Each structure stands twice: as C-alpha cells, then as structure tokens.
Amino acid sequence: MRKRRKNSLEEYKTNLIILFIVILLMTVNLIILIKYLSDNDSNQSQDTKINIAQTSYNTVVEDITYEEGLDMPEQDRMRRYAIEFIDNLDNEEFAEAYGKLNEDFKKNFFPTQNEFEQYVKERIGTGELTINFKNIERQGNEKTGNLYILWVDVYDVLGNEYVDKLEENMTEEEKEDDSGNMNIVILEKNFDDYELSFSIR
C-alpha cells in the first residue's frame, strides 16, 4: 500500500510539473500575442513625427541591403520612400525628386523639371521640412501592383510665403484642415523601385 501511495504521489508531482510547464508556455504565448497585436495597433494608429533635419532620428533612411529592405514591414518602406522624397526636396535635389515622380503625373502637372522646382519652392518650401505621418493605406492588387496612399503633413518650419498668403484669407477651421495636408501615392514595384505622385496644393 505504501508503494502504491508513493507511485500516486510521484504521478501527482509529475502531473503538476507538466501542468505548470503547459501553463507557463500558454502564458508566454499569450504575452507574445498581446505584444504583437499591440505593436500592430500602434503602428496603424499612432502619428509618427519625423523631422528631416534630425537625421539621427531617421534610422529608416539609413543605407540597407536589398534583403533587409525586403524584410522591412511595408509601412516602414513607405515611410522610407516618403522621407527620401521630402529629403530630396529639403536639400533641393530636384532632379532626384523629379525622377521619382510617376510619368503620367509629370505629364499632367510638371512637364518640365523647372516647373516642378518652381512649384516646390513656392508651395512646399525647402530648407527645414518636417513630415508627420497620419495614416498609410494599402490599395491595389496583383494586377495593379502595390499601391499605397500616405496621408501626411509637410511643413517648412522656417515658413513659406505662399502658404502664409493663402492662410491670411482662411478661417481658423480652414487653416487647420489645409495646413500642410498632403497625400502621397506610392506605387512600389520592388524594394527601392517605386514611383510616386502627390496631391497638389
């Protein structure tokens, strides 16, 4: 009888240890799942402010390998492309920025690089641009490609005479609605192979 109790006690201890390990693994999986879901929620709804002048903050525009780029989450890639474009404008690298524009967009709005430069200088600004990402939405399918729409605010922190003149005749509500709002549409063909267009102010 003692032997039987001993075996029962050993089985009970073994079952308790197994139960503890299962509960521990379930807890770890639950924590990982919660962290993953909260990271996804915060990536989709959180406003990300990136000041182009603070390049130390802009880890997203560092040189990376093609393989690393393919492994980047799509929102990070889209932020990277938008930041590169705004950075080109900020540094007055107009030829590079113009080269990133969609061909149809160029034909319709900026047939020449000079027209594009003039528009940027008058209506967007250069020198100290800041971009605030409000939302990134994926559109398109296998036929149309990876099409993304970015809702952003782009500001020239030093001011812009054109924008200042427009705002003189606006109500406070109109200023809030219009101030720096811009949509950037990006068609990604492959990593670092993309074309874009943007809403005209």
pTM: 0.62
107-159, pLDDT tens digit by residue?
999 999 999 999 998 888 777 888 888 889 988 666 666 899 999 888 776 66
Look at 168 and 98; give whichever has higher pLDDT: 98
Q: What is the mean pLDDT of the chain?
A: 77
pLDDT bracket for residue 59 (50, 70, 90): very low
Residues 74 and 137 both lie in one domain: yes
Residues 95 and 53 both lie in one domain: yes
Q: What value does the mean pLDDT take over residues 165-173?
A: 60
Residues 111 and 193 both lie in one domain: yes
Q: Which of 12, 27, 45 is the last residue of a domain?
A: 45
Residues 88 and 153 both lie in one domain: yes
Residues 28 and 56 both lie in one domain: no
Amino acid 51: pLDDT: 37
Residues 35 and 52 both lie in one domain: no
Q: Which residue has the tokens 């939302």?
A: 135
Residues 64 and 79 both lie in one domain: yes
Residues 70 and 145 both lie in one domain: yes
Amino acid 176: pLDDT: 58
The yes-or-no verdict on residue 54 having pLDDT over 60 is no
Nearest to 98 by CA among 77, 80, 118, 123: 118
64-76, pLDDT tens digit by residue?
888 888 888 988 9
The yes-or-no verdict on residue 160 having pLDDT over 60 is no
The yes-or-no verdict on residue 189 having pLDDT over 70 is yes
Look at 190 and 160; give whichever has higher pLDDT: 190
Residues 51 and 35 both lie in one domain: no
Residues 151 and 86 both lie in one domain: yes
The DSSP-derived string for the chain is -HHHHHHHHHHHHHHHHHHHHHHHHHHHHHHHHHHHHHHHHHHHH--EEEETT-TTT-GGGS---HHHHHHS-HHHHHHHHHHHHHHHHHTT-HHHHHHTB-HHHHHHH-SSHHHHHHHIIIII-SSSEEEEEEEEEEE--TTT-EEEEEEEEEEETT--HHHHHHHHTS-HHHHHHHTTEEEEEEEEEETTEEEEEE---
* CA dihedral over 105, 106, 107, 109, signed as positive or negative: positive
The yes-or-no verdict on residue 20 having pLDDT over 70 is yes
Residues 103 and 15 both lie in one domain: no
The yes-or-no verdict on residue 16 having pLDDT over 70 is yes
Q: Which residues form the domain of 67? A: 47-198
Look at 53 and 109; give whichever has higher pLDDT: 109
Q: Do residues 153 and 181 lie in contact, with contact meaning Cβ atoms separated by under 8 Å? A: yes
Q: How many domains does the chain have?
A: 2
Amino acid 112: pLDDT: 97
Residues 37 and 52 both lie in one domain: no
